[in-house]
Amino acid sequence: MSNQTAITINPSLLTWARAESGYDVDHVAKRLQVREERVAEWEKGERQPTLRQVESLARFFHRPLSVFFMPRPPQLPPLAAEYRRLPDVEPGHESPELRLALRQMLTRRENALNLMGELGEPISEFSLRAHLRESPAEVGQRLRQATGVTVEAQLGWANEWEAWREWRAAGDKIGVLVFQFIKVSLKEVRGLVLLRTPMPVAGINGKEMPEAKAFTLFHEIVHLMLAAGKEEESAAREKRRGEEWLAVERFAEAAASHTLVPDDALRDLIGRLRMQRAVWDIDSVRPVAKKFRLTPLAMATRLRESGYINWTQYNAWREQWQAYVATLPPRRGGFATPVQKAVNRAGQPFAKLVLEALSSNRITPVDASRYLDLKFEHFDKLRTHLMEGPGDILFDE
């Protein structure tokens, strides 16, 4: 069959795939370099696309070619039923990039559970709970204890990349799958959680600076704790808006800051730096933030929580910080290999799980390549990478 031959598809599946991917007709027309009227005719069944065009549609929507020949669209729950409420995302109106990231992380989680079942490996339970009636300090302390990370270890990390690797490993330890997603704007979302059990998912935007990722991760894990404590619903069901929801966000923000910087450690460091009477401007916050491998903004939040900065001072500080950040040139990434990119996205535990299943003949090389979105020719380098340790990851896509 020629690629230029018209092929009969189910038009309702084309409409479904486009809508599920978050695209308008004009986006599809531009991608396939046809008139909008032509795409509308395909969806009405008045005309049929060519085989090459159907293949292009499958690639664009990240769907298997076979989906366009199904008798009816799959019955799937809305994506907003999977993730927690996000400040700047209207449920059902996620960007195409975010919709794809959500689908990929949901699939990766299912693959992880299936592989663990095949290999007979125990599935970790996320057992932490939180309630809004508690103080954020109590919640943060409980979460910190669960990670097992000592202050001495934290203050000894060599750089922000080592800090991020250790905090990410701590998230995995407490029964959370920590993934990174790419190509989603930071203005839309920095982090999210998928409210599935067992092994819920914390997703971190790969565009975040490494020193910002830990705060984003534990902010999201606090939301998981609140959801486990029946204090939160999924985005599709959450009714709180405005100031009522902002209070929940502030609670998670405060608890995350206590997780990353315990009271005693903060007080001790400020004493050793002789900053008890410091005027907390950007320059004075920086050295404290650097010691804990956090952003100055995260540290300012923590200082506010312990009363070193009041809310009025904090809001003024934040405005100055945002004005300063706006003057900075765009962050330039370094080089990352295909193996580093794959491990960045999926995490070491999942990558090791795939390799173990492959070695045990539980999955095929084609499956392994698909699970990690990594060409099989790179798998020897992947094994070496995981055996030698991750090294510094210079660039997140």
Q: What is the pLDDT of residue 91?
A: 95
Cα–Cα distance list, 169 to 117, 166, 177, 390, 391 (Å): 22, 5, 10, 12, 14
Greatest alpha-carbon span in the chain: 78
Extract long-range pairs of 58-67: CB within 8 Å, 24+ residues apart. 60/21, 60/23, 60/28, 60/31, 60/32, 61/17, 61/18, 61/20, 61/21, 61/23, 62/21, 62/100, 62/103, 63/17, 63/21, 67/13, 67/17
> Please, how many CA atoms are within 13 Å of residue 172, restricted to the half-sphere of its CB?
18
**How many angstroms separate the CA atoms of 98 and 104, rounded?**
10
Rg (CA), the chain: 23
Statement: residue 266 has pLDDT above 70? yes
* Model confidence pLDDT, tens digit, residues 226-262: 999 999 999 999 999 899 999 999 999 999 999 999 9
Residue 174 three-state SS: coil
Statement: residue 396 has pLDDT above 70? no
Q: What is the pLDDT of residue 389?
A: 67
In this prediction, residue 394 has a pLDDT band, given cuts at 50, 70 and 90, of very low
φ, ψ (nearest 5 deg) of residue 134: -75, 165
Nearest to 371 by CA among 391, 397, 393, 342: 342
Domains and CATH numbers, the chain: 11-69 (1.10.260.40), 136-260 (1.10.10), 338-388 (no CATH)
* Model confidence pLDDT, tens digit, residues 355-386: 999 999 999 999 999 999 999 999 999 999 99
Q: What is the pLDDT of residue 329?
A: 84
* Model confidence pLDDT, tens digit, residues 23-41: 999 999 999 999 999 999 9
* Model confidence pLDDT, tens digit, residues 190-239: 999 999 999 999 999 999 999 999 999 999 999 999 999 999 999 999 99
Strand partners, 121: none
φ, ψ (nearest 5 deg) of residue 207: -80, -10
Task: Give me the helix-helix angle, 348-359 and 338-346, nearest 10°.
Answer: 110
Q: What is the mean pLDDT of the chain?
A: 94
* Model confidence pLDDT, tens digit, residues 311-359: 999 999 999 999 998 898 876 656 789 999 999 999 999 999 999 999 9
The model's pTM is 0.93
Structure tokens at 180: 């990174």
Nearest to 77 by CA among 238, 240, 235: 235
Mean pLDDT for the stretch of residues 84-93: 94
Residue 68 three-state SS: helix
Statement: residue 279 has pLDDT above 50? yes
